[in-house]
């Protein structure tokens, strides 16, 4: 492989592994918020325990996902300085806004939510997790706006050999963004719902003592996954309109076409199973032990579909990095050698692969141990009793 192919492979690996964390984070955040809403206004202890347990799984994935995002940012500067030089004034603006506004707000209110258990008024504490959820999707908007610019550089003109913003409103209303964002949101809800479905089915299959806990979790997971699959499939097909207008022939390449084909196949399968098999029997599903292995086997499919969709969206733009304006070859940093890119590719793959394995192991360990093992929001221990000093 030459240096260009190695650099592309490096970006594909870092982008794909990072997106695995992102899609689960986006999917779990609203589910945890819904659970806490049920507890806040319904007062049932099982909903509080659900919030704490699934919230801890969300936090594990969120924390490790931040590290994968830092690795991805680093490889941008390492391998693609040509993109920063030519289009950084436009491409970098949504990313900067995402970091300075959405991500900082998200992390601030997430911290308040983590440490606010038993300290904040219940409704104020609930507001924190909803703000976290809202800002997570605002972050997704800005990231997708930056990616849509690469797909269709709307709102920018070239001056002095560089792209500059002429119409920021056009950047934010890019046709390549309008249908892609709800598609990604649907994929995230499908992924989060599927993880909760699979983990709950695992515990119910083991005949757990926490029957009520995982029965409610399974039903909630199926309900949210059904909403997610409708959004993902519907807006996935809606994207063909702007793609046909702005990137005709996008899926002619074998990699993009293959990724698209398998993603559609998985989408059809999940839609069939979730909407027409699981949802109609949601009342009885927790008691049907024979069906639980099927639900467990479905858990990885949304992750696989998300990666295939990402590859189709990115590979179909080749040989352009900024479509029609900047090729991938021209966007590469000068002076890179195959040895340098190979070294960084191995290092990045090792780090991100290790983080993915750690994420899976930590989540699987918590799922196996059940809600009793959740430490998030645990009631503080009473202060130790003081023994009066003996008088001499």
Radius of gyration of the chain from Cα atoms?
23
Cα(203)–Cα(207) distance, rounded to whole angstroms? 7
- Indicate the pTM of the whole model: 0.93
**Which pLDDT value is given to residue 136?**
94
Task: Name the strand (E) or helix (H) holding 157.
Answer: strand 156-159
Cα(213)–Cα(282) distance, rounded to whole angstroms? 15
Q: By the 8 A CB rule, do 289 and 233 touch?
A: no
Closest CA to 305 of 203, 152, 190: 190
**Which pLDDT value is given to residue 390?**
47
Note down pLDDT in tens along the chain; length 392 residues: 789 999 999 999 999 999 999 999 999 999 999 999 999 999 999 999 999 999 999 999 999 999 888 888 788 778 899 998 999 999 988 988 888 877 889 999 999 999 999 999 999 999 999 999 999 999 999 999 999 999 999 999 999 999 999 999 999 999 999 999 999 999 999 999 999 999 999 999 999 889 999 999 999 999 999 999 999 999 999 999 999 999 988 888 888 888 999 999 999 999 999 999 999 999 999 999 999 999 999 999 999 999 999 999 988 888 999 999 999 999 999 988 999 999 989 999 999 999 999 999 999 999 999 999 999 988 765 666 665 554 44
Residues 6+ apart with CB under 8 A from 327: 319, 320, 321
**Which pLDDT value is given to residue 72?**
81
Task: Name the strand (E) or helix (H) holding 249.
Answer: none
Q: Which two tokens stand for residue 164?
A: 């500059």
321 three-state secondary structure: strand
Closest CA to 268 of 304, 233, 234: 233
Closest CA to 199 of 104, 299, 131, 68: 299
**Which pLDDT value is given to residue 392?**
40
**Which pLDDT value is given to residue 233?**
96
Q: Which two tokens stand for residue 72?
A: 């991805």
Residue 163 DSSP symbol: E
Q: What is the dihedral of CA 6, 11, 13, 16, to 10 degrees?
A: -160
- What are residue 320's DSSP bridge partners? 327
């Amino acid at each position: 492989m030459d240096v260009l192919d190695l650099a592309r492979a490096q970006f594909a690996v870092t982008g794909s592994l990072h997106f695995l964390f992102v899609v689960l984070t986006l999917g779990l955040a609203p589910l945890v918020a819904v659970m806490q809403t049920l507890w806040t206004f319904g007062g049932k202890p099982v909903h509080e325990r659900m919030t704490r347990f699934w919230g801890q799984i969300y936090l594990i994935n969120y924390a490790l996902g931040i590290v994968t995002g830092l690795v991805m940012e680093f490889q941008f500067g390492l391998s693609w300085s040509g993109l920063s030089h030519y289009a950084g004034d436009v491409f970098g603006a949504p990313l900067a806004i995402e970091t300075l506004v959405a991500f900082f707000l998200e992390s601030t209110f997430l911290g308040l939510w983590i440490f606010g258990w038993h300290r904040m008024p219940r409704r104020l504490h609930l507001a924190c997790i909803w703000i976290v959820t809202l800002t997570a999707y605002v972050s997704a908007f800005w990231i997708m706006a930056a990616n849509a610019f690469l797909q269709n550089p709307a709102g920018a003109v070239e001056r002095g050999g560089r792209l500059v913003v002429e119409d920021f409103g056009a950047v934010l209303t890019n046709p390549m963004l309008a249908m892609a964002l709800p598609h990604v949101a649907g994929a995230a809800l499908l992924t989060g719902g599927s993880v909760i479905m699979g983990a709950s089915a695992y515990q119910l299959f083991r005949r757990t003592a926490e029957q009520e806990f995982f029965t409610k979790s399974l039903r909630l997971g199926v309900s949210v996954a059904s909403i997610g699959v409708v959004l993902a499939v519907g807006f996935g097909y809606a994207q063909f309109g702007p793609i046909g207008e702005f990137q005709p022939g996008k899926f002619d390449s074998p990699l993009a076409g293959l990724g698209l084909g398998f993603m559609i196949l998985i989408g059809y399968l999940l839609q069939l199973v979730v909407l027409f098999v699981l949802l109609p029997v949601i009342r009885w599903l927790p008691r049907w032990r024979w069906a639980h292995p099927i639900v467990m086997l479905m858990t990885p499919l949304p992750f696989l579909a998300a990666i295939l969709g990402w590859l189709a969206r990115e590979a179909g733009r080749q040989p352009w990095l900024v479509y029609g304006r900047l090729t991938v070859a021209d966007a590469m940093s000068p002076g890179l050698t195959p040895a340098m890119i190979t070294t960084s590719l191995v290092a990045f793959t090792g780090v991100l692969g290790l983080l993915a394995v750690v994420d899976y192991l930590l989540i699987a360990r918590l799922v196996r141990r059940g809600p009793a093992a959740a430490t998030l929001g645990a009631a503080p221990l009473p202060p130790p009793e003081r023994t009066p000093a003996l008088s001499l």
